[in-house]
Amino acid sequence: MDLPLIWFLLIAVLWTGYLVLEGFDFGVGMLIPVLGRKDKDRRVLINTIGPVWDGNEVWLLTAGGATFAAFPEWYATMFSGFYIPLLLILLALIVRVVAFEWRGKIDDDGWRAWADRAIVFGSVVPAILWGVAFGNLVRGVHLDADHQYVGTFWDLLNPYALLGGATTFLIFLTHGAVFVALKTDGDIRRGAGRLASRLAVATLLVAGGWAVWTQLAYSTAWTWGATLVAAVALVRLVVLTRQGREGRAFAASAVTIVAAVVLIFGSMFPDVMPAVDPANSLNIRNASSTDYTLTIMTWVAVILTPVVLLYQGWTYWVFRKRISTAQIPEHTGLTFLRR
C-alpha cells in the first residue's frame, strides 16, 4: 500500500472535519454582534455550539499532530514558515476558548462585552487566516533547497491568498448563519435565515471566483469535478436559503467546504508544500515519515477515527433540539461584588 498517499488523504479528511465543524463555530462566533442584539439572543447563539465547539476544535489538533507524525518536514517548514499567521491564529483561539467558557460565569454587562469581543476576534481571525494559509499552500511559497521557508510575511499576503481568506471568511459566515437558522427558533431563526440568504449570494460570487482561479491557475484536470461540485453546492445554497429549507441548506454549505478542501489538496498533490522553484517542493515522498511509523499511525487512525465520528455524532443527536430564548435562564453566574 502507498502509505504516504493514504496519509495525504487522511490529513485532508482531518482538515475537512475541522473546517466543516469549526467552520460553523466560527460563523456563529462572528455573528454574535449581528444576530444577537440582546444578551439573551447572544446566549442562544453561543449555546447552539456550547456542547460541541471544544470537540470540533480537536480536529485541528489532530490534523496538526497527524502532520507532525506523518510528514515531519511539512510540519516543520509550514509551522516555522507561516510563523506570524499561526501566531495570530493561536492568540485568537486562546481568547476564544476562555471567552466561551468564562462568559457566563460573571453576571455583568461589561464582562460579557469583553467576552463577546474576544469571541468575535477569536472567530474572525482564524476564519480569514486559514484561507490565506491554504491559498499560499496551493500557490506555492519560497523554499530553498533545504526546504526552509525563505519568503517574508508580506509574501503571504498576495492577492490570490487574500481572496482565499475572503472565501473562507464568507463560507464560514454563511455556514454559521445557516447553522443558527437550523438550531434556533423564533426571531433569531428568522433573522439568521434572512441573513444566510443574502450572505449566500456574496459567497457564491467570491468563493466561486476563488475556485475558478484555483482551477485555472494551479490545479489539474480531475479537480474540475470538485470545482463543479462546489459551484453546484453554492448555487443550491443560494436557492435553499431563499426557500428557508434549513437542513438542506446546511448540507449545501457543508458540501461546499468539503469540495473546497478536495480542490485545495487536489491542487497541491503530489506536493504537500509546493515551492516557487518546483525542485525545492516538499511532496508526499520527501516530507514523509518512515513506512513503519506510517503503518502504526494508519492502524491507530483507521480504528479510532470512526469511533470519534460515532460519539461526536451521538453528541449532535443528544443536542439536536432547537433552542430559543425561552430556555435561557434569567441569570447565570455570580457577580464580583457580592449581592
Interface with another protein in residues 259-318 (CB under 8 A): 289-290, 292-293, 296-297, 300-301, 304-305, 308, 311-312, 315, 318
Cα-Cα end-to-end distance for the chain? 67
For residue 238, give the C-alpha cell: 443560494
Q: Check if the beta carbon of residue 27 is closer than 8 Å to that of residue 196.
A: no
Residue 124 Cβ vs another protein, minimum distance, rounded to whole Å: 17
Helix (H, G, I), strand (E, B) or coil at 194: helix
Q: What is the dihedral of CA 220, 222, 227, 233, to 10 degrees?
A: -170
Give the angle 312-230-93 at the CA atoms, nearest 5°. Answer: 45
Of 21, 46, 177, 199, the one binding another protein (CB under 8 A) is 46
Does residue 227 belong to the site contacting another protein (CB under 8 A)?
no
Closest CA to 15 of 99, 137, 109: 137
CB of 276 to another protein, least distance (A): 15
Binding residue count for another protein, defined by CB under 8 A: 78
Site for another protein in 2-31 (CB under 8 A): none
Instruction: Verify binding: residue 148, another protein, rule CB under 8 A.
Output: yes
- According to DSSP, residue 145 is labeled T
Nearest-approach distance from CB 100 to another protein, in angstroms:
7
Q: Among residues 91, 191, 85, 84, which one has the least CA distance to residue 128?
A: 85
Among 12, 28, 70, 173, indicate the residue that binds another protein (CB under 8 A). Answer: 70
Q: Does 202 engage in binding with another protein (CB under 8 A)? A: no
d(CA 270, CA 96): 35
**Residue 327 touching another protein (CB under 8 A):** yes
Q: Are 142 and 151 in contact, with CB atoms under 8 Å apart? A: yes
The angle that helices 83-103 and 109-139 make with each other, rounded to 10 degrees, is 150
* Nearer Cβ to another protein (57/187): 57
Whichever of 69 and 239 has its CB closer to another protein, that residue is 69
**Binding residue for another protein (CB under 8 A) from 64, 186, 208, 244?**
64
Is 336 near another protein (CB under 8 A)? yes
Q: Which is nearer to another protein, 279 or 326 (CB)?
A: 326
Based on CB atoms, which residue is closest to another protein, 216 or 321?
321
Query: What is the nearest approach in angstroms of another protein to the Cβ of residue 143?
Result: 9
Q: From the CB of 200, what's the least distance to another protein, in Å?
A: 28
**Cβ within 8 Å of residue 230, ≥6 positions away:** 207, 208, 211, 255, 256, 259, 260, 263
DSSP string covering 303-325: HHHHHHHHHHHHHHHHT-S-B-G
In 3D space, the residue among 152, 7, 112, 126 whose CA is nearest the CA of residue 69 turns out to be 7
Contact between 61 and another protein per CB under 8 A: yes
Take residue 52 and report the three cell numbers written for it.
Answer: 460541541
Q: Which is nearer to another protein, 121 or 213 (CB)?
A: 121
What does the per-residue mask of binding to another protein show for 73-102, with x meaning CB under 8 A? x-xxxxxxx-xx-xx--xx-xxx-xx-xxx
- Shortest reach from residue 158's CB to another protein, in Å: 19
Residue 61 vs 205, nearer CB to another protein: 61
Residue placing its CB nearer to another protein in the complex, 86 or 239: 86
Question: Per rule CB under 8 A, is residue 106 in the interface with another protein?
Answer: yes
Binding residues among 155-174 for another protein as defined by CB under 8 A: none
What are the grid coordinates assigned to 89, written together? 491564529
